[in-house]
Amino acid sequence: MQTLKDKTLLITGASRGIGRALALRAAADGANVVIAAKTSEAHPRLAGTIHDTAAEVVARGGRALAVVVDVRDESQVLDAVARAVERFGGIDILVNNASAVHPHPLQDTPIKRYDLMMDVNVRGSFVCAQACMPHLLKAANPHILSLSPPLDLQPKWFRPHLAYTTSKFGMSMIALGLAEEFSAQGLASNTLWPRTLIATAALDLAAPGQAASARRPEIMADAAHWILTQPSRTATGCFFVDEDVLRRSGVTSFECYAVTPGAEPHLDYFIDP
């Protein structure tokens, strides 16, 4: 399978950044895209709303459903799933993209931030998977893709930002568990992580000034597209890295993704040199 045409994707956090890029890449194939995110009205500091992304999806050739969803609220997730199924007849792909980011040490992490990361990153991924599963298991090539890092339990990843690391590894553990639990039923569950920093609003907030040494979100969208078009029974339980995926698909140069042409992009968290 080389295309996502007529597939229905539910993408959390798709109003901006990587989630938006994934939505637009799927739309170019003629996919149905459920944009499930919190932002329905313009934010003073963060560009993009679910309605903006929906309009872009339609302009790219896809079909869109914009739904206000806070993944911490199970009722909102269930409503989004029900509306997706009513509109498009089912769900083929879930992308767990919504994420809370606060990469700081113990004493600089307020408990409300800890709770936010655990609720959005870990619990939210679980809730979305559980809500979508009855419909995914009816799909011809069902995938769950979580935007979380390879599980690498080296102590150095915990020292600078214990809570954030724990929450992102928690997402990856859920992805791995889903792969094992549902592999016999043909469901693929994988993770995808960028080798380098990605220029998003989240990066601007977490690491101001780093965008010049980052890559554009489209590299993640192109890597995700390759994963999601693979047969689900042959690619599950994998911790993918965007650059490795694209090399496997035949890409040899990544300069087109650079924010600053010629600049060496900085490695992302959880990536060894």
End-to-end CA distance of the chain: 33
Please tell me which residue in 114, 164, 257, 269 is annotated as part of the active site.
164
124, containing H or E segment:
helix 124-136
In order, the DSSP letters of 201-267 are HHHHHHSTT-GGGSB-THHHHHHHHHHHTS-TTTS-S-EEEHHHHHHHTT----GGGBSSTTPPPPB
- Judge whether 114 counts as a catalytic residue: no
| CB atoms near residue 241 (< 10 Å) | 20
SS3 percent helix, strand, coil of the chain, rounded to 5, is 45, 15, 40
Query: What is the rounded distance in angstroms from the CA atom of residue 81 to the CA atom of residue 84?
Result: 5
How many other CB atoms are there within 10 angstroms of residue 238's CB atom?
Answer: 17
> What values do phi and psi take at 8, rounded to 5?
-110, 120
| Residue closest to 53 by CA, chosen among 115, 95, 109, 102 | 95
Euclidean distance between CA atoms 91 and 33, whole angstroms: 10
Residue 232's closest CA among 188, 176, 190? 188
Coil, helix or strand at residue 193: strand
Indicate which residues carry an active-site annotation: 164
